Amino acid sequence: MTITTNIMNTDHVKELLHKAAGLDKETGSARNKQIMHRLLTDIYTMIEDLDITPEEFWQGVNYLNELGANGEAVLLAPGLGFDHFLDLREDAKDALAGELGGTPRTIEGPLYVEGAPLSDGEARMDDGQSPGQEMWLHGQVLDEAGNPLADAIVDIWHADKKGGYSHFDPTQSEFNLRRRIKTDSEGKYRARSIVPSGYGCPPGGSTMKVLESLGRHGNRPAHIHYFVSKPGYKHLTTQINLAGDEYTYDDFAFATRDELVVEAVEVTDSKRITEKGFKDNYLDVEFNISLMQTSDDEKQNKHARARAAASQA
């Protein structure tokens, strides 16, 4: 008999995996059993192939405890590329179904809050208390053929100058920098706001611990999140990155897509500044959106996911 540390293919380990995944039991979820069996098999195999030591294994287990306690799993996920990978898979499914087109999707991130105030055509997003350069954010929602889409809901959320989001940053008022705007008869939406800053993962946090061990940073460029929807059209989850930010093309969360990088234009013309009711030079940000038609009800809604709601604040 040959003595070896390659034990993955032994009957004993196969039986261990089978039982650990509940495959010898009638009850439970077949899908969960399938996923768990695969997950355990892949991890056991990695432990064997990379000769993971008990010290390394328990370091990993204790890290998971800490990650959950800090509520940072939703931050580590985009940092490890999972959110972008899921987007790429949705793109591939669209391609297979012959449904490519429209404004590209990109990651939602963990900081959306349900139920922002709804306005017709135009909204002011900041509460007047947030410092920062003023911004005129506007665009048109169109169908694939370029026809304007009236009554589409453009749900926008972005960070303040410190890179913080209302609801998660207790110093900001409720729904600050979060608005839903219904497009007008020309498919247009307009928002008066302040220019957001990029932000980084909490220093010393669980996500940074991993990223630093990989020689990576945890920064995002300045960006603005969008959900865009209208009955009969595919729900779009996307965001724009402002050009010129140090991290525009080096986002730790991999959300940047070329079509979503927007050149913001600084407006210095005093007539236009006064017209808009701004105090100083402002940034004009234009983002036009193209939605794809669909008769599939499921595709008209954003995918299910636990999201914050203001009532829980």
| 79 near Fe ion (CB under 5 A) | no
Tell me the closest approach of the beta carbon of residue 201 to Fe ion, in angstroms.
12
Conformational region of residue 212, where left means phi above 0, alpha means psi within -120 to 50, and beta covers everything else? alpha
Give the residue, chosen from 79, 109, 110, 198, that forms a contact with Fe ion under the rule CB under 5 A: 109
Which residue sits closest to Fe ion, CB atoms considered?
Answer: 109
Sign (positive/negative) of CA torsion 10, 12, 13, 18?
A: positive
Tell me the closest approach of the beta carbon of residue 225 to Fe ion, in angstroms.
6
Tell me the closest approach of the beta carbon of residue 237 to Fe ion, in angstroms.
12
Task: Determine the interface stretch with Fe ion among 29-37, 88-96, 105-113, 229-237 (rule: CB under 5 A).
Answer: 105-113
In the complex with Fe ion, the residue whose CB is nearer, 109 or 187, is: 109
Sign (positive/negative) of CA torsion 7, 9, 12, 16?
A: positive
Task: Determine the interface stretch with Fe ion among 64-72, 103-111, 182-190, 259-267 (rule: CB under 5 A).
Answer: 103-111
Tell me the closest approach of the beta carbon of residue 229 to Fe ion, in angstroms.
19
Task: Determine the interface stretch with Fe ion among 101-109, 115-123, 145-153, 287-295 (rule: CB under 5 A).
Answer: 101-109
Helix (H, G, I), strand (E, B) or coil at 233: strand
In the complex with Fe ion, the residue whose CB is nearer, 39 or 73, is: 73
| 164 near Fe ion (CB under 5 A) | no
Burial class (CB in 10 A: 0-12, 13-18, 19+), 54: exposed
In the complex with Fe ion, the residue whose CB is nearer, 223 or 234, is: 223
| 78 near Fe ion (CB under 5 A) | no
Tell me the closest approach of the beta carbon of residue 214 to Fe ion, in angstroms.
21
| 139 near Fe ion (CB under 5 A) | no
Helix (H, G, I), strand (E, B) or coil at 20: helix
> What stretches of the chain show up as alpha helix (H) in DSSP?
11-20, 30-49, 54-69, 73-79, 82-96, 206-213, 270-276
Q: x/- site string to Fe ion, residues 25 to 64, per CB under 5 A?
A: ----------------------------------------
Tell me the closest approach of the beta carbon of residue 159 to Fe ion, in angstroms.
6
In the complex with Fe ion, the residue whose CB is nearer, 199 or 233, is: 199
Tell me the closest approach of the beta carbon of residue 26 to Fe ion, in angstroms.
45
Query: How is residue 169 annotated by DSSP?
Result: B
Burial class (CB in 10 A: 0-12, 13-18, 19+), 95: exposed
In the complex with Fe ion, the residue whose CB is nearer, 109 or 205, is: 109
In the complex with Fe ion, the residue whose CB is nearer, 142 or 242, is: 242
Query: 98-135 as b/e, with b when 16 or more CB fall inside 10 Å?
Result: ebeebbebbbbbbbbbeebeebeeebebbeeebebebb
- How many residues contact Fe ion, by CB under 5 A? 1
Residues pairing with 132 in the sheet: none
The whole-angstrom separation of Cα 231 and Cα 258 is 28
In the complex with Fe ion, the residue whose CB is nearer, 21 or 177, is: 177
Binding site for Fe ion (CB under 5 A): 109
